[in-house]
Structure 1
Amino acid sequence: MNNKIALFLTIAIIALTILLVRDQTATKQVTLRFSAYIDGVPLVLHHQSYPNPGGEGTFIIRELQLFISNIRLVGDTNTFIEPESYHLVRFDNDNNFHQIVLPNIDATEYQQIELAIGVDPQANSSITIAGDLDPNSRMAWSWDVGYKFLLLEGVLSQHQQQIPLVYHIGFDESYTRLTFPINATSDNDNTLLNFNLELSHLFGKESPIDMAEISTVKFDKDDVALIAKGFESLISLE
């Protein structure tokens, strides 16, 4: 009888411990906050003007959207892969930033975070709805072309002219994976990761693009590649 009681107590203690650990994990979360800048100046849609990177005039941005996808947290002993990990990040809100919340995650168990700009080739060629992917949305070109990974639209003011700016960047070749180290402390239930998007990187750093010369980029793969090469340095983690 004593052995049975001891076994029962041991099982009960183990079960209680598991429940407590799960409950503690359930209270934790990781928040990814994305903020956009142009030459270090916070992005303000519609109202703030910014200098043409490679020429005369100034421009405003009226709309900015991009896909962040395939978020993974990697640790020494385990890996978290977010299911249906396709997020349409946009900045047309009062806060001027966009947040993605990963619930029930203890950030101290992981040493790095991986994410991608764009949509992976498998999902890009599919009409299946997953996360924020919708083949009928404005961010979709067509089933055989795929999604716009980044949409940036605005107006360039130059010599009393108003030149529409339309940058729709897609194609599988533009899909870009990024990795960042994270160092979360154990006493924080809500880990906030601040990601900064420096949009000037899209228009060249060493050889800045004159928006008057390249004001529209859609289906031309060479022009798309010219903008998309900035994806590699577009995002940084504070």
Structure 2
Amino acid sequence: MMMNLFSSFDPSSYFMLPLNWLSMIISFLFIPSMFWLIPNRFNFLIQNMLITLHKEFKIITKKNNTLMFIVLFYFIMINNLMGLFPYIFTASSHMIFTLSLALPLWLSFMLNSWISHTYHSFAHLMPQGTPSILMPFMVCIETISNIIRPGTLAIRLSANMIAGHLLLTLLGNTGPMVNLLIFLIIMIQFMLILLESAVALIQSYVFAILSTLYSSENN
């Protein structure tokens, strides 16, 4: 029995190893398309998504090297969707997972910007047309906004994934108590699962598109 509501999100260890983190790579067993003689609808869907994402990321970055952001999108999307299945650990609901993605990306963008374009990086801290009296405040505000970017990326993803899972957990725990409303609770859970599927796709897209915007801004 759970000691508290959030204990269902705690990583557990078996044989001194946190085996539930393996859920991040389980889904890759079902993806390879090289074994299909004739592409199926799933392959066509993945291919169309890849082409659409490449076009959007290419417009933002103004370059053709969008592979990193497309892989980032697929990786987060797969982890979000796998977490909707019963008894599968949701890695994307933990700050360890989200910070491990957001912090190296942000750090690489910032280091590249400050090392390769030092003058423009300093100029970026001062928006054009700022009054002289507001210049110190604008530098502080822009500096803080740049520093908190990896935190906002990580918290946005993990908080959105936890919120939906908490609702599903609450409804699942109240089901045995109200037998008369069990049908209504099942319908609500079904609608919440559809909503969570949409949230899983949207949050992976938001994470990837914001990373692309930060990359283009620093370059």
Decide: shared fold, TM above 0.5.
no
More strand by share: 1
Q: Which protein shows a greater Rg?
A: 1
Which is bigger in relative contact order (C-alpha 8 A, separation at least 6)? 2
Normalising by structure 1, we get a TM-score of 0.20
Normalising by structure 2, we get a TM-score of 0.21
